[in-house]
Amino acid sequence: MKYKILFLLYVIVLGCNPQKAKRRIIPVEKNIQLEKSVLDISVVAKGLNVPWEITWGPDNKIWITEQHGEISKLDPETGEKHRILEIKEVWKDRTTGLLGMAIHPNVKENPYVFVDYTVKNNGKIFSKLVRYTIQRDTLIKPTTLLIIPGSTGHNGSRLAISPNGKLLWATGDAQKGGNAQNEKSLNGKILRINIDGTVPENNPIQGSYVWAKGFRNMQGLVFSKRGFLYTSEHGDALEDEVNLIVKGGNYGWPNIEGIHDIEEEKEYALKNNTIEPLLSWTPTIAPSGITYYGHKTIPEWENSLLLATLKARSLHVLKLNDDGTKILSDNIFLENEYGRLRSVCVSPEGDIYVSTSNRDWNPYSKPIEADDRILKISKAARVTSDKVLKGKLASENKTIENIDQLYSVYCGGCHKDDGSGVEGTFPALKGSSLVQGSKESLIKVFLKGKKTENKAEQMPSFKFLNDDEGAAILTYIRKNWGNKAEPIQASEIKGLR
Ligand code: HEC
Ligand SMILES: [Ca+2]
Ligand SMILES: [Ca+2]
């Protein structure tokens, strides 16, 4: 009898042994064909709610922040996910919430995880940088390292640990462009911080966290293998950027957007010694998470930056030159395949993971039930799916052949392709009386932009488009989606410039 019970216990314990959890066979959904390599795309997680940061952990799990305030871990082998922390004080609204996260690369000596998130106290908004200590499967001892002013938008932000163990924080301008050039403000900056929250001795200005200045709203931050720091940044209407960050550098905002191409910018650049981006995009793509790919696993992508984009709904592979100071080519993958892409990380084996962001405040279309997802992109022996995707050079994407696309790339990101806008944020152009009313008022909104006080978002100026492009777009919005109004001629735009 006694032995029987012991035997039973033995069976139960073995049966529950987590080590024996079955590896799930994750089906390949699509393939990517590169010059030589074939890649598999599979979905390793479903049903997430805006995974803002995904990062590879020391336990070979993918650590995830979700915007509403949860941190969880995903086992990419089994697809099992479990929550390790919920941060109750997170204030999520539109772009705010639990955002960046970085794990110390040497957790044996420094068992720390750093996160930043938005809080709202007595009607005031702040961004908070907090350090947690890893204790087995939980995070304990939250220690606030820094609190800076926040806003309803432009809070950045990403975190990264430098090769010599400093914490870097890419902050947003908190919707006040002036912050970015003001060295007293910690907004619109790259901050460099000791892991105990003190100011490192060799920062450019003694006693200040500021490492570099002149940024609008950074959404990507990564160190390459050789220790170079790269960012991705949302520009205003015209230009999005990827930058290589140097100590004490000035990156131009709000006086300069993107490359130094207009007279005022050139003048300002000369006087202030500002640094141009490695690459800028017009029309904008809403660049988000960025990571460095240094593996030989996918040789075509070795020594590249991988950049997830929201508005353009794609993964850009930015090939670097050998010394990491130039981008040689910009190839686009996954375009329109999985919707908005927000974060990207790489495993030690060189597998790539990308998270979608179709449940965020500015969805391109209705999310599907599986959203949000985490995709795995890995080297394969051969094509095994029915759908084989190819990349294309970004330059091929800039030829705008038809008016649908012209409207979509410049206006659709905010007002949506069907003109329905986003309630409370971006007005619908469909049925708008301003769109169908006086030509002059409409052209003025187009050329000068429009801002209503106390509104988080504004309509940017599109005077950089030429008269023909403007006339085509404005005529399109006056005649589409049931709107009915006279077309607008290029000469009418010219007359109001
Ligand atoms: C970055 C987001 C964004 C983009 C891109 C954008 N808009 Fe807007 N637009 C707005 C916002 C926000 C408003 C509301 C401004 C306000 O009233 O304060 C607006 C307002 C308008 C209005 C006034 C509508 C009304 O009924 O009051 C028109 C017309 C318009 N936009 C046309 C366009 C066109 C045409 C394009 C593309 C060339 C475009 N917008 C691109 C954000 C955007
Ligand atoms: Ca810049
Ligand atoms: Ca410029």
- Residue 19: what pLDDT? 47
Average pLDDT estimate for 470-477: 95
Q: Give me the CATH code for the 400-496 domain, please.
A: 1.10.760.10
In our burial notation (b when 16+ CB lie closer than 10 A, e otherwise), range 350-360 reads bbbbbbbbbbb
Counting ligand 1 atoms within 8 A of each CB, the residue from 236, 415, 452, 488 with the most, and so the one to mutate, is 415
335 within 8 A of 327, measured Cβ to Cβ: no
Residue 422 has pLDDT above 60, yes or no: yes
Average pLDDT estimate for 202-216: 98
* Cis omega (within 30 of 0) for bond into 357: no
Average pLDDT estimate for 392-408: 74
| Atom 6 of ligand 1, nearest CA residue | 411
3 pLDDT band (50/70/90 cuts)? low
Point out the ligand 1 atom lying closest to the alpha carbon of residue 452.
18
Give helix 467-479 / helix 439-448 axis angle, nearest 10°.
120
The partner residues of 124 in beta bridges, in order of sequence, read 121
What residues line ligand 1, using a CB cutoff of 6 Å?
410-411, 413-415, 426-427, 429, 432, 434-435, 442, 445-446, 450-452, 455, 457-460, 462, 473, 477
Residue 70 has pLDDT above 70, yes or no: yes
Pick the range with the lowest mean pLDDT from 35-44, 393-402, 438-447.
Answer: 393-402
**Mean pLDDT across the chain, nearest whole number?**
93
Of the candidates 33, 51, 52, 31, the residue with the CA atom closest to the CA atom of residue 42 = 31
| Atom 39 of ligand 1, nearest CA residue | 411
| Atom 9 of ligand 1, nearest CA residue | 459
**Token pair of 35 as six digits:** 């010059």
Instruction: Give tens-digit pLDDT for 239-288.
Output: 999 999 999 999 999 999 999 988 999 999 999 999 999 999 988 899 99
Average pLDDT estimate for 438-443: 97
Give the 3-state secondary structure of residue 148. strand
Residue 427 has pLDDT above 90, yes or no: yes
The partner residues of 62 in beta bridges, in order of sequence, read 56, 74
Residue 334 has pLDDT above 90, yes or no: yes
- Residue 20: what pLDDT? 47
- Residue 1: what pLDDT? 52
- Residue 405: what pLDDT? 78
Average pLDDT estimate for 447-474: 89
Residue 191 has pLDDT above 80, yes or no: yes
Average pLDDT estimate for 282-301: 95
Pick the range with the lowest mean pLDDT from 11-15, 39-43, 159-163, 298-302.
Answer: 11-15
Give Dmax (Cα) for the chain. Answer: 99
237 pLDDT band (50/70/90 cuts)? confident
Instruction: Give tens-digit pLDDT for 172-183.
Output: 999 999 999 999
Give 241 Cα–ligand 2 centroid separation in angstroms.
Answer: 7
Average pLDDT estimate for 447-468: 88
| Atom 20 of ligand 1, nearest CA residue | 459
- Cβ < 5 A residues, ion ligand 2: 251-252
Q: Give me the CATH code for the 18-396 domain, please.
A: 2.120.10.30
Give 260 Cα–ligand 2 centroid separation in angstroms.
Answer: 9
Average pLDDT estimate for 145-167: 97
Average pLDDT estimate for 345-359: 98
Which residue intervals of the chain bear CATH 2.120.10.30?
Answer: 18-396
Which residue intervals of the chain bear CATH 1.10.760.10?
Answer: 400-496
- Residue 18: what pLDDT? 47
223 within 8 A of 292, measured Cβ to Cβ: yes
If one compares 65 and 465, the residue with the highest pLDDT of the two is 65
- pTM across the whole model: 0.81
Of the candidates 461, 365, 446, the residue with the CA atom closest to the CA atom of residue 413 = 365
32 pLDDT band (50/70/90 cuts)? very high
- Residue 15: what pLDDT? 47
- Residue 185: what pLDDT? 98
Average pLDDT estimate for 58-81: 96
Residue 382 has pLDDT above 90, yes or no: yes
52's CB contacts (< 8 A; 6+ apart) are 65, 66, 67, 97, 98, 99, 100, 342, 343, 357
Give 207 Cα–ligand 2 centroid separation in angstroms.
Answer: 25
Point out the ligand 1 atom lying closest to the alpha carbon of residue 458.
12
pLDDT over 70 percentage in the chain: 94
- Rounded-to-integer distance, Cα 407 and Cα 336, Å: 17
- Rounded-to-integer distance, Cα 183 and Cα 14, Å: 61
Average pLDDT estimate for 4-15: 53
- Residue 413: what pLDDT? 83
Please give the torsion angle defined by the CA atoms of residues 378, 381, 385 and 387, in that order, rounded to the nearest 10 degrees.
70
Which range in 1-5, 255-259, 458-462 is most confidently predicted, on average pLDDT? 255-259
Q: What are phi and psi of 180, to 5 degrees?
A: -65, -35
461 pLDDT band (50/70/90 cuts)? confident
